[in-house]
Structure 1
Amino acid sequence: MQAGREIEFRGMGVNGKWHYGYLNVVTDKRAGVPLGCYISNNAGMPFAYQVRPETVGQFVGQVDKTGERKIYEGDITKNKHGAIGVIKFHKSWGAFCFDTILGYNEEKELVRMSSAVPMWNEWSTLTIIGDIYENHELL
């Protein structure tokens, strides 16, 4: 816990299982460990799982409306109005946001609208319905 926030990541292991904990990114061959992203517990690298970098997402510090499921980057959620969106971190806003899925354009590209509205009143109204890695059909 740092500055009153729980810092946690999740990532899908190379074996297809989800792992939760601290993120370690090995970029130096001298470390004696294969290059890549690892999720570990408090013990660090000796007990780390290699994960696919594109699946790594940070815990946003909030739970969904059930009060039981932590919300992570990459989660597909539904808000109280029925809109479906993806949780993303926007560097320009310095915050996690709900990217509303509007549909597909003529080129069959996914069209999203980023919510610039602060989410502090909305987190508890979201329902997690999947994630962008295992449930692409929901988009």
Structure 2
Amino acid sequence: MREIKYRGRGINGEWHYGLLTELKRNYMRIEKGHYISNSSGLPFAYHVRPETVGQYTGLKDKNRKEAYHKDIVEFEGFLYSIEWDEKRTGFYLADLVYLDDPDSEEHKIGSCISESLIRGNPFEHPHLLEGRDET
């Protein structure tokens, strides 16, 4: 079973890692929004920008760097973004899919990621996606 954790960029630009909480309305002195916290939870949490939140895939690149949803990965000379497929409840990279079922034929993304390099994410390195066909 893969570890469930998230990454999000705070209002001040720093990255935070841990558990994700979304407050749909103000709670005491805490304003609504997305928060990343450690195991202690609120109030020990960081307010993060919701568009930057990404879940850990449970996989690491060839340098053992953790791969998160929305990361930009270089594999065999091409750049891909790690995305989430809601219908299949799995992460995918181009036409390769990682499902929670490790026996699936489509589990190949695990080896793809382990042979690739994470180049960054679109929030710190938007130039990596320039010229990419966004459909």
Assess same fold via TM > 0.5. Answer: yes
Residues 39-118 of structure 1 mapped to structure 2, 5 A cutoff? 39-67=36-64, 69-79=65-75, 81-99=76-94, 115-117=95-97, 118=106
**From 109, 115, 120, the counterpart of 1:130:** 120
Contact 2:59–2:110 (CA<8 Å) still a contact in 1? no
Corresponding residue pairs, total: 118
RMSD: 1.2
Cα distance in structure 1, aligned partners of 2:25 and 2:86: 26
Secondary structure of the equivalent of 2:4? coil
Match of 1:111 in 2: none
Identity %: 40
- Structure 2 portions without partners, runs of 5+: 98-105, 130-135
Q: TM-score, normalised by structure 2?
A: 0.82
| Deviations 1:25-72 (CA, angstroms, capped at 9, x unpaired) | 00133x2220000000011011100000000000000111112x1000
User: Which of the two has greater strand per residue?
Assistant: 1
- Structure 1 portions without partners, runs of 5+: 100-114
Q: TM-score, normalised by structure 1?
A: 0.80
